[in-house]
Structures are given as structure tokens and as C-alpha cells.
Structure 1
Amino acid sequence: MVMNFLFLIIAYLLGSIPSGLWIGQVFFKKNLRDYGSGNTGTTNTFRILGPSAGILVFAIDFLKGTLAVWLPIVFHANGWSPIVFGLVAVLGHTFPLFAGFKGGKAVATSAGMLMGFSPVYCLFLLAIFSITLYLSSMVSLSSVVSAGFAIITVIVFPAFHFILPEYDFLFTVIIVFLGGFVIVRHRENIIRIQQKTENLVPFGLNLTKQAPIKK
């Protein structure tokens, strides 16, 4: 039990590492909060600091979720599902101790958590994300659509023993919560999508004909 509480703290601190904020300040002398959307996550890092920094931030944020899930497995801390530690890392990423409790939108770290706990399901949702990104040219819409698919499929798939072979109550509750959480965190993006002013990536079909406001 003591080990579990210790790993919960480690998972939160791991999630709290504000990779985008620190990389911007140390290597680019820029505070991401002063540029673009003001978010310190992967998308704004790509937009402001470039692809290399964006890929690095995504990798770090992704691994935070995976490592948190692996912690209790590697050290044989029994009693609690590893998904709990992944959830705590996601919350740390979103409300980071080291960045004034203002963090990212939970997408990359949630994906990393899923990769550590249910890799095939994670790859399924990454495929949904990738297809939506190509069709829409929007990371935000891709995140929201993937979150919606997660909420639906975590309930439906076990009934057909597809990808998720059986119901895991705790896993289901956490995925439904995180799916809703990701959607809520993107509420400003959703408004911009409705107004057709959402930011785009430089590829894809932009089927919804977004026209971002130039700044």
C-alpha cells in the first residue's frame, strides 16, 4: 500500500513535467504561454517552436503516461490497476505542479497511458486520430473525435470481444472520464471550428474549409 501511494506521487510529478514550457524557455528563449494559443502542449509547440521541438515535446508527454502505467508493473506493486497511475500522470500533465497548475489538454499523455495499458486499443484510436487529421487538417478536431470514439468504443467493443476482450469497470470509467475531459478541454477549439476559424496543420484536406484568423 505504501508503495502504491509513493508511485501515485511519482506519477503525478512525472506528469507535471512541463516539457513544452521548459524546452521553449531553455532552448528557444520563448515562453509558449505568450505565443499562439498560449498552450504548452504539442500543437502549440509545433506551431511556435517548429517540428523538431514539437516532436520532442510529444514524445516526452507521451512517455509520461506510459512510464506511469509501467511503474507499478515493473516494481511489482500489486493491489491497484496500473491505469490508475496513468490517470494521475494525465492529471499531473493537465494541472502541473511545476507550471502553476496550467498544463496541456491531456491528449498526448492519455495516449501514452493507453499505449502502456492497452497498446492495440491505443493504436486503434491513433488510427482514428490520423484519419481525422488528414481529412480535417485540425489537431483539435482529431483529438475531440478520437475522444468521442474512445467513449463509445470502450463501452461497445467488449460486448463483441473486439480489441477489448472483456469489460474492465475501472478502465471503462477512466476512459469515459478522460474522453469527456479531453472534449471539455477543447471547448474553445470547438467554438472556433463552428466559426470556421480554427488553426490548421500544413497538410490534409481541410474538408470543413476552416480559414484561421491571421495574427
Structure 2
Amino acid sequence: MDILLIAILFIAAYLIGSICTAVWLGKWYYGIDIRQHGSGNSGATNTFRVLGKKPGTIVMLIDIFKGWAATSLAGLLVVFGAIPAEKLIIFQLIMGMLAVVGHIFPVYEKFKGGKGVATLLGMMLAIQTDVALLCMVIFVIVLFTSRYVSLGSMIAALAFPILLLLPRFHPDNPILIVFGFILFALVVITHRKNINRLLAGEESKANINLSRKK
């Protein structure tokens, strides 16, 4: 294995994940630090809440793309012969996780980032597209029925490894299922404050018809 190429792409995956879309968009185009408004989180949900539908959508799509791009970089390792093709899934998982870690702990913003759900979705889209799309549908259903973004995120994250257990979606490599449950645990950890608010009945509900706030 070409250790140098692997190391370079690992670093690249983390740096891609570290791109602080919400923070930079808020500062450059709206003159505010998104972390000082709303929930204080630098993710798509808080961008929707504070800036509105258009910037929120931009942030969400870019954050999803970060996860997809970083995960897809693993294909270069096969192309250049750095790893055998049968090990691709392992390196996809590692590089996707590096992007998620980068989103949560971005080097560009003193390691204070978002919760990584959109970046995690991008990672899943790159690895298991059909299951990831189903998880998106589940998220939307939970969001529109409960109005809780956090609840939708956690249920969709749990649905990913559970769907992989079904014969229709069962992957060739069972490590993906194990990793799916690990990713769900990560989502729960990053949403622990939301869980406390949900249990206390204090979690904010999403406004589906969002418009930009002045």
C-alpha cells in the first residue's frame, strides 16, 4: 500500500469535512456568526432557523456534498493501486468518518463545528445510495409528523443499519452494518442535548414554511 498517498487523502478528507459552510456563509453574505444566533449550532438546521430557506438549503447541500466527496476520494486509492479493490469499503468508511469528524471538529474554526448529520448523509449516499435515499424519506416523514429535526435525524440514522439487515439491502461486507450502528451512536452523542430537551418537552419544533429573517 502506498502509505503517503493514503495519508494525503486521509488529511484531504478531514479538511473537506472541516469546511464550515454555515459559519462562512453567515459571515460573508449576512454579516453574522451563525453560532451566536438560534441554537448556536453551525449546521444546516440552525441556518434554516436563522437565515431562512435559501441559505439553509445551500448549507445542507454543500455539507452533504462534503461527505460524498470525501468518501468518494477512496476510489483513487484503487485507481492508483494503493489498496486492493476488496478493501475499498473499509477506506470509504474511514474517509467518510474523517469528513464527519472534520465537520464536528473543524480545524478552520477552532474545532467548534456542527453535528455532522448532513455530512454523514453524504457519506452514506456514496457508499449505499439506495439505503441512504430511504433514510432521507424516513427523515422527512418524521420531520413532517413531529416537527423535530433532531428526532428525524436520529431515527433516520438508526434506520440505516437496520435496513442493511434486510435481505434486499444486505451488503457483501458485514462491517458496513457494524459501522452503521457506530454512526448511529455518534449521532445520538452529538444530539444528547436535544434528547434531554425532547424528554423535557422543551425541544424547538421546525417551521416547515421557512422564510429569511431580517
Same fold (TM over 0.5): yes
Matched, 1:129 2:139: yes
Q: How does 1:195-206 map to 2 (within 5 A)?
A: 195-203=200-208
**Relative CO higher for 1 or 2, CA cutoff 8 Å, sep ≥ 6?**
2
Instruction: Read off the aligned partner of 1:200 and give its amino acid letter.
Output: K
1 CA distance for matches of 2:39 and 2:102? 20
Show structure 1 runs of 4+ deviating over 4 A: none
Indicate the percent of aligned positions where both proteins have the same amino acid.
35
Structure 1 counterpart SS, 2:169: coil
Match of 1:168 among 159, 169, 174: 174
Query: Does structure 2 retain, via aligned residues, the 8 Å contact 1:20–1:41?
Result: yes
Deviations along 1:22-66, one digit per CA (max 9) or x if unpaired, are 110111111111111100000000001111110010011000000
Aligned to 1:15: 17
1 CA distance for matches of 2:109 and 2:177? 30
Instruction: Read off the aligned partner of 1:194 and give its amino acid letter.
Output: L
- Using the size of structure 1 for normalisation, the TM-score is 0.87
Aligned to 2:189: 184
Deviation at 1:18, TM superposition (A): 0.5
Deviations along 1:124-151, one digit per CA (max 9) or x if unpaired, are 1111111111110111110111122234
- Using the size of structure 2 for normalisation, the TM-score is 0.87
Give the direction of change, closer, same or farther, for the CA distance of 1:180–1:27 in structure 2 (3 Å limit): same
Unaligned 5+ segments in structure 2 are 210-214
Structure 2 counterpart SS, 1:198: coil
Q: After alignment, is 125-134 or 144-153 more displaced?
A: 144-153
Structure 1 counterpart SS, 2:73: helix
Structure 1 counterpart SS, 2:120: helix
Deviation at 1:98, TM superposition (A): 0.6
Unaligned 5+ segments in structure 1 are 205-215
Count, aligned residues: 199
2 CA distance for matches of 1:18 and 1:203? 24
Q: How does 1:98-113 map to 2 (within 5 A)?
A: 98-113=108-123
2 CA distance for matches of 1:106 and 1:150? 15
Q: How does 1:30-69 map to 2 (within 5 A)?
A: 30-69=32-71
Deviation at 1:100, TM superposition (A): 1.0
Match of 2:163 among 149, 153, 159: 153
Deviation at 1:192, TM superposition (A): 1.2
2 CA distance for matches of 1:164 and 1:94? 29
2 CA distance for matches of 1:185 and 1:138? 15
The RMSD of aligned alpha carbons is: 1.7
